[in-house]
Structure 1
């Protein structure tokens, strides 16, 4: 089994469409999908994000970081939330992504999440992270 992240990306237009959807309807649709993931035993985590206008951007393109308040202005794609699934293959992750109740015009990016065992086990930082994961029940 491997972990895959499904990254939900929307445009300004698809986000506006989503905001027009009644909240109860959205909860029902997403709730049914989440229940499918839970019944299949593949859901690890899932979160949606707040309105982009409430966020900030920390830009590291200069000598010092510059913080800009939202809204972001014109955007092509906004990161709106994510799912982490533990599935048998990338193809299975893609099949779940295709079933995700997405707003027309949005996209879902599918990316594998490498496990800690894939990193050099003699590295001091990997050793410390492994210890932290063991202490917190993540391993």
Structure 2
């Protein structure tokens, strides 16, 4: 079973962390990646840019419109994800709890219901 472990970040919260605390988050991701690589559960991971650098595309009545910024307004944003291949949802939740972002904001766990093999 493949699951997407979706990480969210709040820039205001991130900026309040000291450089040491921020480094602890990065180091935590390194340790997490080591765990899921060694277990064979890692499929892939991506980190995403800040929402200010986002282009949101909509098509209405055949007209393409592009707006600068995210589709969903707010402070927190999708900052990255891991794709894991695990035996159960319970294991995916267990892994999500190891991601440093779970201590700062949240990590969503969603089953991948279609996979075209693009990863």
- Global fold match (TM > 0.5): yes
Aligned to 2:91: 92
Aligned to 2:31: 32
Aligned to 1:51: 50
Choose 1 or 2 for highest CA Rg.
1
Q: Which has the higher helix share?
A: 1
The count of aligned residue pairs is: 117
Summarize the Cα distance change of 1:103–1:115 in structure 2 as closer, same or farther, 3 Å threshold.
Answer: closer
Gaps of 5+ in 2: none
Q: What are the residue-to-residue correspondences of 1:60-79 with 2, within 5 Å?
A: 60=59, 62-63=60-61, 64-70=63-69, 74-79=73-78
Gaps of 5+ in 1: 117-128
Deviation of residue 41 (structure 1)? 1.2
Aligned to 1:111: 110
Using the size of structure 1 for normalisation, the TM-score is 0.67
> Contact 2:56–2:70 at 8 Å: present in 1 too?
no
Q: Which has the higher strand share?
A: 2
Using the size of structure 2 for normalisation, the TM-score is 0.76
Larger relative contact order (C-alpha < 8 A, sep ≥ 6)?
2
The Cα RMSD (Å) is 3.0
> Contact 1:6–1:108 at 8 Å: present in 2 too?
yes
Deviation of residue 17 (structure 1)? 4.2
Q: Quote the Cα distance in structure 1 between the aligned partners of 2:102 and 2:5.
A: 15
